[in-house]
């Protein structure tokens, strides 16, 4: 229904823009720290904060520093962090066996954070690329990414992460049928309260480059991921994928990347009305940060505007590397 409104001069839109107080009273969408999930990169070692060249201001953290980061995030009111491991190349194999090792880097970090900061939700990544010598999210045979065999491996990975205390599992692999398989396995294993935030509409994007640097997958990747990640030209397909994952047991759904796909976020929220998230990915972060460092844009203003845009597009939350900085600004 279209709003009823008088014509000019009875209607002057500038009346409610003339002061900060009126602008705040009439603002339609609001960003808070509760909307933020902070992705962090972890690596082996102690006392490590290793800069990531292609993501200025972002570091790979050893577990002890990741615990400190979780404590800081909780203090800022950020409800969740998401772990991404930089895996030693020596343990990467074609079979990806390290992915379900209970003592791998991610699983040790889950346990450490939940022991020290139990109130913060820990989200994990469910995909094989950090452990795959081929750099792909799935098992590879004769150059083909295998779907069903990969799903079996992902289920094993999910169960171990749930055993270690993960609150939210984030399947980012885009294999068919993996949500249903994980949900059934989690229920059977007694993990009835572990949530699944599915990367349901993950596009084969050019914006992931810095992330692949951060997890050490850039050099390992053979070929591309277009046979399992979405075609950037497709929109209706995203809705079919969302519906499928919800029917299979996803609690929350994600669109990735974020800013180039705000139209998809809006369509998902309007169509399903479910908890909807977007990932402001590494390339988006790097563009804003890089332009700000060169003085080409106002960094803080651009950061906050970009995050508010996700809320306007219908997102309930955003995975963003800006989370701590944004949360501090939101606290005033």
Positions annotated as catalytic residues are 202, 256
Q: What is the rounded distance in angstroms from the CA atom of residue 29 to the CA atom of residue 110?
A: 33
Strands 276-280 and 317-320: parallel
Distances (CA, A) of 24 to 17, 21, 28, 194, 317: 9, 5, 9, 37, 21
First to last CA, the chain: 37
- Is residue 108 within 8 A of residue 63, CB to CB? The reply is yes
For the beta carbon of residue 309, count every other beta carbon within 10 angstroms: 19
């Amino acid at each position: 229904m279209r709003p009823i409104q008088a014509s000019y001069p009875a209607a002057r839109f500038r009346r409610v823009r003339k002061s900060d107080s009126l602008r705040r009273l009439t603002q339609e969408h609001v960003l808070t720290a509760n909307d933020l999930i902070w992705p962090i990169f972890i690596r082996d070692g102690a006392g490590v904060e290793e800069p990531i060249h292609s993501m200025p201001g972002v570091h790979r953290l050893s577990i002890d520093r990741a615990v400190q980061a979780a404590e800081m995030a909780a203090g800022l009111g950020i409800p969740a962090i998401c772990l991404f491991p930089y895996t030693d190349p020596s343990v990467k194999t074609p079979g990806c066996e390290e992915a379900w090792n209970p003592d791998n880097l991610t699983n040790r970090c889950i346990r450490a954070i939940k022991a020290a900061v139990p109130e913060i939700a820990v989200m994990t990544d469910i995909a094989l690329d950090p452990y795959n010598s081929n750099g792909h999210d799935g098992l590879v045979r004769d150059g083909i990414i295998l779907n069903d065999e990969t799903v079996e491996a992902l289920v094993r990975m999910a169960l171990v992460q749930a055993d270690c205390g993960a609150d939210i599992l984030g399947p980012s692999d885009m294999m068919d049928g993996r949500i249903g398989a994980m949900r059934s396995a989690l229920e059977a294993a007694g993990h009835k309260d572990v949530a699944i935030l599915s990367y349901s509409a993950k596009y084969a994007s050019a914006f992931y480059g810095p992330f692949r640097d951060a997890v050490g997958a850039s050099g390992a990747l053979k070929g591309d991921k277009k046979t399992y990640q979405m075609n950037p030209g497709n929109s209706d397909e995203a809705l079919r994928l969302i519906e499928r994952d919800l029917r299979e047991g996803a609690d929350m759904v994600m669109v990735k990347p974020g800013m180039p796909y705000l139209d998809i976020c809006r369509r998902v929220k309007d169509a399903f009305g479910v908890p909807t998230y977007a990932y402001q990915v590494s390339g988006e972060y790097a563009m804003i940060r890089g332009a700000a460092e060169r003085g080409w844009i106002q960094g803080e203003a651009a950061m906050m505007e970009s995050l508010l845009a996700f809320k306007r597009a219908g997102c309930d939350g955003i995975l963003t590397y800006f989370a701590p900085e944004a949360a501090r600004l939101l606290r005033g």
